[in-house]
Amino acid sequence: MTRPAKHSALVRLVCVAALFSMIILAIQSSLFTRSWNPELNISREDIRILSHFQSNLNQCVANRGLGLTAHIIDHCNVILKFPEGTNSTWYNAQFKVFEPLEYKYDVCEAILLWEQYRNMTTVLTREYLDSRPDGWFDYAAKRIAQLGADKCYNQTLCEEHLNLILPAKPPFHPRQFKRCAVVGNSGDLLKTQFGEEIDSHDAVIRDNEAPVNEKYAKHVGLKRDFRLVVRGAARNMIKILNGSDDEVLIIKSVIHRDFNTMIKKIRNPVYLFQGIVLRRGAKGTGMKSIELALSMCDIVDIYGFTVDPGYTEWTRYFSTPRKGHNPLQGRAYYQLLECLGVIRIHSPMRAKRNQDWSDVPSREMINSAHRAALRLKKKQAGKEAELGQFVNCKVWGKSGPYGTGPISGSADMTDTRKNSNYNRWEAMPSDSLREEARKHYTQMEGVSLYKMDGNKLDDLVCVKSEA
C-alpha cells in the first residue's frame, strides 16, 4: 500500500483515457476528411479558375459598387460589405434590428443558377403540364384561383380555366433577343433621361402598373414589349395597357375569373410565368423580371432599380413612396449579379460614367467558371463530374413539333380578341428566329428546359420536341 503504486495506477488510467480519446479523434477526423472535406479531392485547376474569377469579382465590385467592397472567404464564398457608417434606414420591427451592412454569397451557386436561366423556358405551357408527373392534378390547380378545389380532380375543368393563356409550346426562346431593358419603378428614374436609351433595346420589360406615356417618355421610354403583372392588376388592366395592343402580359401569380374575363376582351398576348415559388410571397419582384429577361436575351440592362447609395425612402416614379423594402440587401445582390456578368446596372450615379464594361467578366471567363463550379458541385455530391447540358433533367417529356398543338384561346373570346394577333408569338415560324436562337435550339436538340419549383437547380423538366 504505497503511494507510488497508487500513483502509477492513476497514471495508467490517464494514459488509457488519453489513448482512447486519441483513437476516437482519429476515427472522427478520418470520417470527417472523407465525407466532409471534399475539397481534398477537387482539382487544383478548378480552384485556380474559381479563385481567378473571385479576384475579378473583387476588382469589379471595387470599381463599380459605389463604395461596396467584396471580401473573399474562399474560392466560392464572398462577403459584400457596405462602408462603415452607412446609414441603414430600414428597420426590421419584428427583430428590432437595422438592416445589416454585410451580405454573404456563394458565388459558385449563383453562377450555376443564373447561367441556367439563359437556357430556361419561363412561360407555362401545355407540354410542361403534360410532362410533369403531377402537372395537371397538382401544379395546374395551384395556378388557378377560385377553382373551388385544391387539386384538379376534373382536368377538363382546369383546362377551361387555363386554355386562354396556355400555349402548347414555348412562345419565347432562349437567345431570341440580343439586348433587353428591364425597367423597374424606382423614383430614381426621374433623375435621369434614359428614355431613348431604353427604347433602343430589342425588347423592354416593365412591371405591373408602371405607366408608359408622353409624360414620362424621356425618363422611361415609350417602347413596350413585356409586362409582368400580379393578381389584382386585372382591375387596372385597361388603364395600364392604354391602347397598346402588342405588349405581352405575363402573370406571375395565379389566373382567376376576373383576369379571364378581362383577357377575353383585350388584344394583347397573355401568359403565365413558370418558375415562381408558390409558397412564398411576391418578394423580389424585380428578380422575376430579370429571370424572364435572361431566358430570352443575351444582354440584360436594368433601369429604375433603387441601387444608389444614400436614399431614404422606397420611391416610385409615378406615385408616392411606400415603406417596407430592404434596400441595402437588394443593392448588394444586384451588384453581385453585375459582377457575375448577369445584368448591367444603370442608375443616376452611374449615368455619367462611360459605358465601360471591361471589368465585368467576359463570356469565356463566365463559361469556364461555370464549368468549374459544376464539377465542384458534382464532386461534393459524390457524383462523377458529368457536364452535359441535360445533367439537371429530372423528368423527361415529349411533345409534337411546333405548330401541331393547340394555340392559346377559348371559344367564348370576344371578337376583339379573336381578330387580334394575340397568338403571333406562338405561330411564329422558327426559321424567322434570330440566328443565335436557332443555333441554341439545334445545340439543345430541340429540348425545352423548365424549372420544377422556384430556384432549385437540379430538378428540371425537360421536354423534347419531335422533329
Ligand X SMILES: *[C@@H]1O[C@H](CO)[C@@H](O)[C@H](O)[C@H]1NC(C)=O
CB of 38 to ligand X, least distance (A): 8
Cell readout for 193 is 433621361
321 membership: H or E segment, kind and range: strand 319-322
Task: Kindly tell me which of 266 and 444 has the beta carbon lying closer to ligand X.
Answer: 444
Question: Does residue 87 touch ligand X according to CB under 6 A?
Answer: yes
Residue 230: Cβ within 10 Å count: 17
Do 68 and 333 meet the contact criterion of CB atoms below 8 Å apart? no
Question: Does residue 160 touch ligand X according to CB under 6 A?
Answer: yes
Question: Does residue 84 touch ligand X according to CB under 6 A?
Answer: no
Question: Does residue 295 touch ligand X according to CB under 6 A?
Answer: no
Task: Kindly tell me which of 309 and 348 has the beta carbon lying closer to ligand X.
Answer: 309
Which of the stretches 125-133, 150-158, 324-332, 420-428 binds ligand X when contact is defined by CB under 6 A? 150-158
Cα–Cα distances in angstroms (integers) from residue 390 to residues 112, 139, 371, 395, 454, in the given order: 14, 23, 14, 11, 18
Which of the stretches 64-72, 111-119, 271-279, 323-331 binds ligand X when contact is defined by CB under 6 A? 111-119
With b meaning 16 or more CB within 10 Å and e meaning fewer, what string describes 39-59? eeebeeebbebbebbbebbbe
User: In this structure, which amino acid lies at residue 203?
Assistant: A
Do 251 and 272 meet the contact criterion of CB atoms below 8 Å apart? yes
Which of the stretches 8-16, 100-108, 210-218, 332-340 binds ligand X when contact is defined by CB under 6 A? 210-218
Output phi, psi for 399, to 5 deg.
-150, 165
Do 54 and 75 meet the contact criterion of CB atoms below 8 Å apart? yes
Question: Does residue 455 touch ligand X according to CB under 6 A?
Answer: no
CB of 440 to ligand X, least distance (A): 4
Do 371 and 52 meet the contact criterion of CB atoms below 8 Å apart? no
Question: What are 272's strand-pairing partners?
Answer: 251
Task: Kindly tell me which of 6 and 445 has the beta carbon lying closer to ligand X.
Answer: 445
User: DSSP letters along 285-305, please?
Assistant: HHHHHHHHHHTTEEEEEEES-
Where in 153-234 does DSSP place strands (E)?
177-183, 203-207, 226-229
Which of 47, 62, 157, 452 binds ligand X (CB under 6 A)? It is 157
Which of the stretches 19-27, 207-215, 251-259, 407-415 binds ligand X when contact is defined by CB under 6 A? 207-215
Question: Does residue 151 touch ligand X according to CB under 6 A?
Answer: no
Question: What are 369's strand-pairing partners?
Answer: none
Question: Does residue 309 touch ligand X according to CB under 6 A?
Answer: no
Which of 35, 94, 156, 432 binds ligand X (CB under 6 A)? It is 156
CB of 282 to ligand X, least distance (A): 24
Task: Kindly tell me which of 72 and 191 has the beta carbon lying closer to ligand X.
Answer: 191
Question: Does residue 116 touch ligand X according to CB under 6 A?
Answer: yes
- Applying CB under 6 A, the site for ligand X has a residue count of 20
Binding marks (x or -) toward ligand X, 375..414, rule CB under 6 A? --------------x-------------------------
Question: What are 461's strand-pairing partners?
Answer: 395, 450
User: DSSP letters along 164-193, please?
Assistant: GG--SS-SS-TT-EEEEEEE--BGGGGGS-
Measured distance CA(57)–CA(360) in Å, rounded = 8
CB of 119 to ligand X, least distance (A): 4
Strand pairing report for 102-106 and 77-81: antiparallel
Measured distance CA(380)–CA(421) in Å, rounded = 50
Task: Kindly tell me which of 173 and 344 has the beta carbon lying closer to ligand X.
Answer: 173
CB of 415 to ligand X, least distance (A): 24
Which of 119, 268, 274, 306 binds ligand X (CB under 6 A)? It is 119
Question: Does residue 242 touch ligand X according to CB under 6 A?
Answer: yes
Question: Does residue 440 touch ligand X according to CB under 6 A?
Answer: yes
Footprint on this chain of ligand X (rule: CB under 6 A): 41, 87, 89, 115-116, 119, 154, 156-157, 160, 211, 213-214, 239, 242, 312, 389, 440, 443-444
